[in-house]
Amino acid sequence: MDKTDLILKYAGMLCDLEYPVGDEARFFLKMDGRIYATENGLDFRCGAADIRDITEESSLEKDVLNDLSGRTALVLAKTPYLGICIDSGHEIRACLDDMAQIVGYRVGLVPHTYKDVHRALSRGEAVMVRGRYAILAGRSLYEACVALTVLEKSAEITLKSAVIGGAKPLSRADSLLMREVYKRKYSKAEADFHAQEESEEQSPAVSEIRAGKALSVEEAREQLVTAGLKLQEQGLVQGTWGNLSVRLNEEQMLCTPSGIDYSRLTPEDMVVVNIADSSWEGERKPTSERGLHAGIYAARPEVGAVIHTHSAAASIFAAANMPVAVEDPQMAACIGDVIPVAKYGLPGTKKLSENTRKALGKGTGCIMAHHGMICCGEDLFDTFQKCGMIEEAARQYIDRRWEERI
């Protein structure tokens, strides 16, 4: 894929977001020794004629990108909640694992100077420029765009969690550890991504998520692809974050793989995992949370599918370490009066699995402190529906109190 197609692909993706990206939104891409940028003031609604080679031009952002080690792309944007933080001078600290890993421990505000912006992006993947916009960096446009969606979610969490007592930041030590593990763990996945993106592969077809536990392995693979795409479409996950599984039989489950964006998953990428010991078959590595999924299946023989999301409203409760009170009677009848909160554990650890299984008990789902939300059901269709209900219950609770506050 050449530079123009690559930029237009991700411009289209950001145009499809449910929120605006601001009047000064732009892309900067370093490719083949040159730097290209979209024109200012287009809100990413651009065509091939709006992409220019600016290698020889004078630009703070161009100079910063040119001098950043290991990064090839910048995204400039002022999304709604990031805009509030920029205008009010409110820094954003990592309260969830995804921000700690993808963006960094803290995103502060700096003046629009080369020295300040370069220093900030040398330490992390994002900075807010006073009175202007946020700048997100990445090893690819994909990474920079995912960082934007994660940081906008983090800004919303930072602001809205005030109505339930405020978000509780992760420790600096845990954040730095997760950041380093993330950079090492996903380096190969990112290289694979570049190779795939430069090819002309087709996107997977989207079908419907069907009810029923009696799926063949082939059908289960296709259903996981469809469910992953729909989770991404509805904003319940960002990038490679979150994971899904279905039970195949008493001994095995089928899981999404580690480190591959939902938009690029194919049925063949899904991994067969043994429930008893979390060992797996094939070349693909399953999700790092496979132990959590396996533990739920082992403890709950009636469960046919498990979905873990990083959805925005549920994540506000995760950041505040608070349960969700389900206020709508019809939803409460389906998912329970309260969605409990599990104590924190680092991603992929036994502590996280044990804490989550304990909080989940015999219920439909639970909030995972500093992490997200997990849900289970009799099949993938049932679980997907319940995920949506938990997110909506959390959204209703927060939005009503947020509106009263403002």
CB 86 within 8 A of CB 104: no
Q: Which of 289, 302, 391, 404 is catalytic?
A: 289
Confidence of residue 189 (pLDDT cuts 50, 70, 90): low
Chain position carrying tokens 């009799």: 378
Encoding tokens for residue 336?
A: 């329970």
The 3 state secondary structure assigned to the chain is CCHHHHHHHHHHHHHCCCCCCCCCCEEEEEECCEEEEECCCCCCCCCHHHEEECCCCCCHHHHHHHHCCCCCEEEEECCHHHHHHHHHCCCEECCCHHHHHHCCCEECEECCCHHHHHHHHHHCCEEEECCCCEEEEECCHHHHHHHHHHHHHHHHHHHHHHHHCCCCCCCHHHHHHHHHHHHHHCHHHHHHHHHHHCCCCCCCCCCCCCCCCCCCHHHHHHHHHHHHHHHHHCCCCCCCCCEEEEECCCCEEEECECCCCHHHCCHHHCEEEECCCCCECCCCCECCCHHHHHHHHHHCCCCCEEEEECCHHHHHHHHHCCCEECCCHHHHHHHCCEECEECCCCCCCHHHHHHHHHHHCCCCEEEECCCEEEEEECCHHHHHHHHHHHHHHHHHHHHHHHHHHC
Task: Give the pLDDT confidence score for residue 317 in this predicted structure.
Answer: 97
Domain chopping of the chain, boundaries: 3-197, 217-405
Q: How far apart are CA 367 and CA 352, in angstroms?
A: 12
Lowest mean pLDDT among 40-54, 87-101, 310-324, 378-392: 40-54
Nearby residues of 320 by Cβ (< 8 Å), 6 or more positions away:
95, 161, 164, 165, 166, 167, 168
Residues 6 or more apart from 233 whose CB is under 8 A from it?
none
Least confident of 39-43, 288-292, 344-348, 366-370: 39-43
Q: Which is more confident, 191 or 81?
A: 81
CB-CB contact of 210 with 222 (8 Å)? no
Query: What pLDDT, on the 0 to 100 scale, is given for residue 128?
Result: 98
Which is more confidently placed, 390 or 194?
390
| Alpha-carbon distance values, 274 to 46, 63, 265, 293, 385 (Å) | 48, 50, 21, 11, 26
Q: What is the pLDDT of residues 236-262, one digit of tens each?
A: 776 557 899 999 999 999 999 987 777
CATH of 217-405, one of 3.40.225.10, 3.60.21.10, 3.60.60.10, 3.60.110.10: 3.40.225.10
Q: pLDDT for 192-227, tens place per residue?
A: 554 455 444 445 555 677 676 667 889 999 999 998
CA 210/CA 375 separation, integer angstroms: 17
| Selection from 188, 314, 315, 170 nearest residue 258 by Cα | 188
Number of other CB atoms surrounding residue 391 within 10 Å: 23
Block residue for tokens 């995920």: 387
Question: What tens digit of pLDDT does each residue of 11-36 get?
Answer: 998 988 889 999 899 999 999 999 99
pLDDT at residue 192, as a whole number: 55
Q: How far apart are CA 321 and CA 304, in angstroms?
A: 28
Residue 399's pLDDT is 94
- The yes/no answer on whether domain 3-197 falls in CATH 3.40.50.1000 is no
Residue 323 scores a pLDDT above 70:
yes
Per-residue pLDDT at 201: 47
- What are the tokens at 358? 């304990």
Neighbours of 205 (CB within 10 A): 9
- So what's the pLDDT on residue 196? 55
Which tens digits make up the pLDDT trace of 59-68? Answer: 999 999 999 9
* Token duo for residue 216: 């063949």
Q: What is the pLDDT of residue 383?
A: 95
Q: For the residues 82-90, what does the mean pLDDT come to?
A: 97
Averaged confidence pLDDT in the chain: 90
Find the length of the chain.
406
- Looking at residue 232, its pLDDT comes to 80
Q: Which residue has the higher pLDDT, 186 or 155?
A: 155
Q: Identify whether 143 is a catalytic site residue.
A: no
Average pLDDT of 377-397? 95
The pLDDT tens digits of the residues spanning 341-351 come to 999 999 889 99
What is the Cβ-side half-sphere exposure of residue 13, based on CA atoms within 13 angstroms? 22
Distance CA 323, CA 237 (A): 20
Provide the pLDDT for residue 240.
55
Residue 183 pLDDT class (50, 70, 90 cuts): confident
What token pair was written down for 191?
A: 């290289």
Average pLDDT of span 143-153: 94
Which of these, 154, 149, 135, 9, lies nearest to 73 by C-alpha position? 135
